[in-house]
Amino acid sequence: MSWIREGELTLLERFCANIIKAGPMPKHIAFIMDGNRRYAQKCQVERQEGHSQGFDKLAETLRWCLNLGIREVTVYAFSIENFKRSKNEVDGLMELARQKFTRLMEEQCFLNVCFAYTSRHEISNAVKEMAWGVEQGLLDSSDVSESLLDKCLYTNNSPNPDILIRTSGEVRLSDFLLWQTSHSCLVFQPILWPEYSFWNLCEAILQFQVNHSMLQKARDSYVEERKRQQLESDQAAVTEQLLREGCGSSRDSQLRRILLHKRSSGREERVQGFLQALERKREEWLARLGTASS
Ligand code: FPP
Ligand code: MG
């Protein structure tokens, strides 16, 4: 029996879901599921029980998302900082992850789990990967750009989250998806994660809908600005090339167009080659990790 898919929405929930779905809907939501231990304390149960109920809440939330047509969810399950917690708690969380991950894999669902993750580590790793590409001669240093960095992140196969939700009243991002959420709707809710409800999720989506046109505008102008910067730098490089080749005064716009095209297709080819090499490098690293831990 599927453990995410089981259970339907109530009649009232379905009714409200249909109203919400008439507006612009998020395609991807990220959660910082915070407040498990405060919940455990409040209910006078063991910490581990708080985390376990937190996990059950995740399964329930995925079901709501599925019902609302939200195709992708990313959760912050364990940050690198969390290793500083007591050995007992870390061991408990690892055990919970071991048990639940197997089940999650069986579900073949739309969930990205960030485990032993911090965003700054992810970003600096992406920068190192690009430096490696330049060192190996796969990339030119002029190929290094924000778009290429996007492609080197662990999230390169996902669209950026439309909404980032943090529960428990904390109003920090705690090093989670810093790069990916610059145009996301950030929603901080006071509820503790194990108490999260369908209505809390609807409230977050409503906030997204109210701000949707502003967010979309900001995203579009960022994309435009990126394109403009790339074109400007390509044009400057072409002018430099013409100067080097003694045709600095050339007003031949067709020659300029040809050189511009050559430059961008050359970059595209290098970037593709680099990304394939990077994928192979990551696969080899994962295989070595698998051998070392077996
Ligand atoms: C934050 O609450 C929660 C965590 C650090 C762990 C989150 C893990 C789960 C919900 C279950 C495991 C999930 C998977 C996908 C295996 P907190 O411990 O910081 O509580 P507090 O803020 O009240 O101290
Ligand atoms: Mg916390």
In tens, the pLDDT along 229-255 reads: 999 989 998 888 888 887 766 567 888
Q: What mean pLDDT is reported for the chain?
A: 91
Confidence bin at 274 (pLDDT 50/70/90):
very high
Res 4 pLDDT > 70: no
CA of 193 to the centre of ligand 1 (A): 8
- Residue ranges in 136-245 assigned as alpha helix (H): 146-152, 198-244
CA of 8 to the centre of ligand 1 (A): 26
Candidate of 4, 31, 32, 34 to mutate for ligand 1, largest count of ligand atoms within 8 Å of Cβ: 34
| Average confidence (pLDDT) over 172-199 | 97
Res 171 pLDDT > 80: yes
Highest mean pLDDT among 4-18, 84-98, 130-144: 130-144
Q: What is the pLDDT of residue 41?
A: 97
Angle at which helices 11-20 and 198-244 cross, to 10°: 30
Ligand 1 and 34: CB distance under 6 A:
yes
54 Cα nearest atom in ligand 1: 10
| Average confidence (pLDDT) over 117-146 | 96
Ligand 1 and 82: CB distance under 6 A:
yes
Burial of 20 (0-12, 13-18, 19+ CB in 10 A): middle
**C-alpha 277: how far from its chain's center?**
22
Q: Which residue has the higher pLDDT, 78 or 133?
A: 133
Ligand 1 and 174: CB distance under 6 A:
no
Res 6 pLDDT > 60: no
Res 118 pLDDT > 60: yes
Res 107 pLDDT > 80: no
Q: What is the pLDDT of residues 28-61, one digit of tens each?
A: 999 999 999 999 999 999 999 999 999 999 989 9
Res 269 pLDDT > 60: yes
Ligand 1 and 163: CB distance under 6 A:
no
Which of 112, 11, 25, 109 is CA-nearest to residue 69? Answer: 25
CA of 34 to the centre of ligand 2 (A): 5
Q: Considering every ligand atom, which ligand is closest to the CA of 104?
A: 1
Q: Which residue has the higher pLDDT, 71 or 212?
A: 212
CA of 109 to the centre of ligand 1 (A): 20
Give the percent of the chain with pLDDT over 90.
Answer: 72
Determine the Cα angle at 146 with ends 207 and 259, to 5°.
Answer: 130
d(CA 130, CA 134): 6
Angle at which helices 198-244 and 47-67 cross, to 10°: 70
Ligand 1 and 97: CB distance under 6 A:
yes
Q: What is the pLDDT of residue 292?
A: 76
Token representation of residue 288: 């070595």
Q: What is the pLDDT of residue 3?
A: 56
Q: Is the pTM of this model over 0.75?
A: yes
Atom 1 of ligand 1, nearest CA residue = 34
Q: What is the pLDDT of residue 99?
A: 83
Confidence bin at 271 (pLDDT 50/70/90):
very high
Atom 8 of ligand 1, nearest CA residue = 77
Atom 21 of ligand 1, nearest CA residue = 35
Q: What is the pLDDT of residue 106?
A: 67
Q: Which residue has the higher pLDDT, 10 or 105?
A: 10
Confidence bin at 5 (pLDDT 50/70/90):
low
| Average confidence (pLDDT) over 127-135 | 98
Res 78 pLDDT > 90: no
Q: What is the pLDDT of residue 291?
A: 82
